[in-house]
A and B are shown apart, each in its own frame.
Chain A
Amino acid sequence: MKIAFTTKGTEWDSMMDPRFGRTEFILMFDEEKDELVNFDNRSIEGEAHGAGPKTAQQLLEMKPDVLITGNGPGGNASSVLEQSGTKIFVGAGQMTAKKAYDAYKKNELKAF
C-alpha cells in the first residue's frame, strides 16, 4: 500500500496540513518498500484559483492507494480523486504524520 499525507514538512514528525488544495507538502509512505518520499507543493501559493484540482493532479501522479488529510478536498479536487479510486480519510489535521498513520492503522480516521 502507498499512503499519502498532506503535511507541513518532510518528516514523520512533521505536522499534518489540514488543507488539501493548499497543502505545503505531500508525504508518501510505501509500506512494501518501507520508504518515505515527499513532494514540495509550496508553489501552489501562487495559484489564485483552482489549487484543489492542481494538487489532486499532482497527487494522482504519485499513485497512492490512500490519502490522509484534514478537512478533506473541495468539490473540484474530489472529482479528480474520484477518477483514481484513492481512498480518502479525514480528521487528521492536528496530528503529526506518524500519529495520523497510526490512527489510520487503528481505523480511527473517518472516511471522506
Chain B
Amino acid sequence: MKIAIASGKGGTGKTTLSVNLAAFISENDKVVLCDLDVEEPNSGLFIKGELIHEEEKFKMVPKWVPDKCTLCGLCQEVCNFNAVIKLEKQIMVFPDLCHTCYACSELCPEEALPMVPVKMGELKHFQLNNISFIESHLDVGREQAVPLISQTIEYVEANFDKDTIKLYDSPPGTSCPVIEATKEVDFVILITEPTPFGFHDVKLAIETVKKMHKKFGVVINRYGIGNDDVLKYCKDNDIPLLAKIPNDRFIAELYSSGELIYTKVPEVKKQLKNIYDYILKLKENNKV
C-alpha cells in the first residue's frame, strides 16, 4: 500500500503530517515512512531511530578518457543539456547538468566517454519500534533530485512487502520531482492550508494528480484560519476531505523544536485516526 503525501507549495505541513501519521499508525501496525524531499529531508528531525542500513547512491555520467579522444566534438553536439563541453585541448563533463541519456557515450566513435557512477547522495534506513524510516539526502551542490528519488523508491519496494503501509513524504511543487515521487503510488494525500495561497496551490496539485490518474484526498492544515474555499471546493468536486488539523500556535511551537504533535494535542490524534481509518478501508478495497 503506497501513499504519497504531497502539497502544491512548501511549508503547508507536509512533513508534520507525514511524521505524525507514521508515528500514530506505528502504535498499531508496521509502517514505512520514506522522505523523498531529498533536497531538504526534514522528517529525520522528528523521528530518531536506530540506523540499521546506510548506502551511497550513484548516478551514471560520462567520464572523459583523454588517450582515446580525438576532440571531434560530437559529444558536445549531441548533448542537449550543455553537460559536455569541448575546450581547446579537453572535454569537460558537468555531472549536475547530465541527464544520463547515454547519447554522448554511446555515439562517441572512439569510446572515449564511458559511463561511470558518480555519487549523488546517501540513503539511510532507521528503525524505531514499528516505524521503518528511510531518507535520502542529496549531496550539497547536487541539483538533480529525480534519479535519487527513483532509487530511494526502488529500495523501499525491494525491502518491504506489498501490504505494508508506506508513506512517501514527497517534494513540494508540481514539477518533475513530485511526479517522480507519486508516479507509482496507490493514493495521494494532498495537504493544504485554508488560505488563498493554499487554495490556489492545491488546485494546481489536484490538476497534477488528476493528470496522473491517481486517487487522492485532501487534508486541511491550520483549519479555522482563513476561509472556507478549500472546504467548499472539495465538497463541490466530490473530493474526499480526510482530516482537518486545527490552527494552533502550540502546534507551530512543537514543530519549531522538532517534536511530535499528536501525543500532546488530542484533536490532532483524532484527525490522524480518520486518515488511518481511510487508509485501512482503501487497503481492504485494494485486496478485492
Binding site for B on A (CB under 8 A): 47, 49-51, 53-54, 56-57, 60-61, 75-76, 79-80, 83-84
Contacts and interface: CB of A to CB of B under 8 A. Distances in A.
Nearest to B88: A60
Interface in B91-134: 92, 94, 96-97
Contacts of A61: 88
Given A53-B92, A53-B94, A75-B141, A80 B85 contact: yes
Given A49-B82, A49-B97, 19 more contacts: A47-B82, A49-B81, A50-B83, A53-B92, A53-B94, A53-B97, A54-B82, A57-B85, A57-B86, A60-B87, A60-B88, A61-B88, A75-B141, A76-B96, A76-B97, A79-B92, A80-B92, A83-B87, A83-B90
B25 to A, nearest CB: 40
A47 B88 CA distance: 22
Contacts of B92: 53, 79-80, 83
A1 B86 CA distance: 24
Interface of B: 81-83, 85-88, 90, 92, 94, 96-97, 141
A47 B97 CA distance: 12
A84 to B, nearest CB: 8
Nearest to A57: B85
B81 A80 contact: no
Contacts of B96: 76
A43 B85 CA distance: 17
A54 B97 CA distance: 12
